[in-house]
Amino acid sequence: MREMRKGSGSRCVDVCNGDADGLCSVLQWRLHDTRESTILTLLNNETSLAGRVHTRPGDEFLICDVPLEPNRSTLKKLLDGGARVQYVNHQFTDDVPWHPQFQATVDSSENACSSLIVDRLLHGKYREWALVGTYGKRLTLVADQLATDMGLLGNDKIRLRELGELISYNACVANVKDACIEPAALYDRLSRYPQPMDFLKSESLICEIDAVRREDIYRASELTPYWQDVDASVYVLPDTPWAHRIASGLDQRIAADDPTRAHAFLRPVENGHFDVKVRAARSAAAAIRGERPCAWVVEHLPQGEIDHFIRAFSACRWGRLRSPVYHSIS
């Protein structure tokens, strides 16, 4: 996220997640309210705004698709400093604060996302951009129905879906250097076009992101399990840009392709540690969760503990080890 510089005078500041839902939420708002503003974007692994935003009396903040819980203290500082805040989000919170300078619209229902909330607030004025954000949030059935209601043709739906998914793919990294383009710079390109189809006709950027994603998927297809038995498998991703980009969706893809087994995915973070995501599709999860798919994470596993994790992963959840196969981490 780019840090905001202090200066004089009040400003409009837009803060959002850098995926399709966040960017398209702000984009709709700014197409409606065309005042000059500064955009601050987060990557998908970022949640806290602490130390990243500053305020002066009279500043106006639009905050979209950013969780409230880790930002309560920052929000209080903004409001206490005289800022006005418009907050839009789809993530559940059980205690939305009240303040005369704070306007919150939160909808945590199953088929909600921030783009659709803004779409409702603006009475569908820029709905095609709302569809892009909704597709990027992978609410495909919801977006398809809205597109049908608008009279969009099948090919147009496909193009809007691909645009949303590729915008979100760009933000699914732990470090901005691994993104194809910084989300704030991507927003600048998107914001030049009132309609997403105009963007697709005029810009080659999305084709470039798509080419990167296809190459990342190909590299991921060659990834072999570090360990496996008949019940489960463990993948250790290399510390490379392509692996950082593909990591967020790789677990879902492999679990869907191999639903009878449990899978663990180890992604390198820093200082020789790994974040671990465990995912089991419906048929595998039935053994422990009664037919419900399940996923959970382990943070900052030391590299020296990988084999210990594997033993616990297999023995505790999937039974006796059966002829484990090891591969080197490359």
pTM of the complete model beyond 0.95: no
Can you say how many angstroms the Cα of residue 209 is from the centroid of all Cα atoms in its chain? 16
Q: pLDDT tens-digit profile of 32-45?
A: 999 999 999 999 87
Strand order in the sheet with 102-106: 38-42, 12-17, 60-64, 84-89, 102-106
Q: Check if the beta carbon of residue 63 is closer than 8 Å to that of residue 87.
A: yes
CB under 8 A, 24+ apart: contacts of 120-124: 121/88, 122/28, 122/29, 122/32
Please state, in angstroms and rounded to a whole number, the distance separating the CA atoms of residues 329 and 310: 15
Give me the pLDDT at residue 252, please.
80
Q: Check if the beta carbon of residue 254 is closer than 8 Å to that of residue 263.
A: yes
| Backbone CA torsion sign across 135, 136, 138, 142 | negative
Task: Please tell me the least confidently modeled range out of 39-43, 98-102, 270-274.
Answer: 270-274
Run of H or E residues at 295: strand 294-302
Domains and CATH numbers, the chain: 12-212 (3.90.1640), 223-317 (3.10.310)
- Give the model's confidence band at 269: pLDDT under 50 very low, under 70 low, under 90 confident, else very high: confident
Please state, in angstroms and rounded to a whole number, the distance separating the CA atoms of residues 213 and 170: 9
The tokens for 95 are 């205690």
- pLDDT above 70: residue 290: no
β 38-42/12-17 pair status:
parallel
Q: pLDDT tens-digit profile of 123-144?
A: 999 999 999 999 999 999 999 9
| Backbone CA torsion sign across 16, 19, 20, 21 | negative
Closest CA to 183 of 157, 148, 203, 209: 209
- Give the model's confidence band at 281: pLDDT under 50 very low, under 70 low, under 90 confident, else very high: low
Give me the pLDDT at residue 253, please.
85
- Return the DSSP state at 11: -
- pLDDT above 70: residue 327: no
The tokens for 188 are 């600048």
Burial degree of 36 (CB within 10 A; 0-12, 13-18, 19+): exposed
Q: pLDDT tens-digit profile of 166-202?
A: 999 999 888 899 999 999 999 999 999 999 999 999 9
Give me the pLDDT at residue 166, please.
97
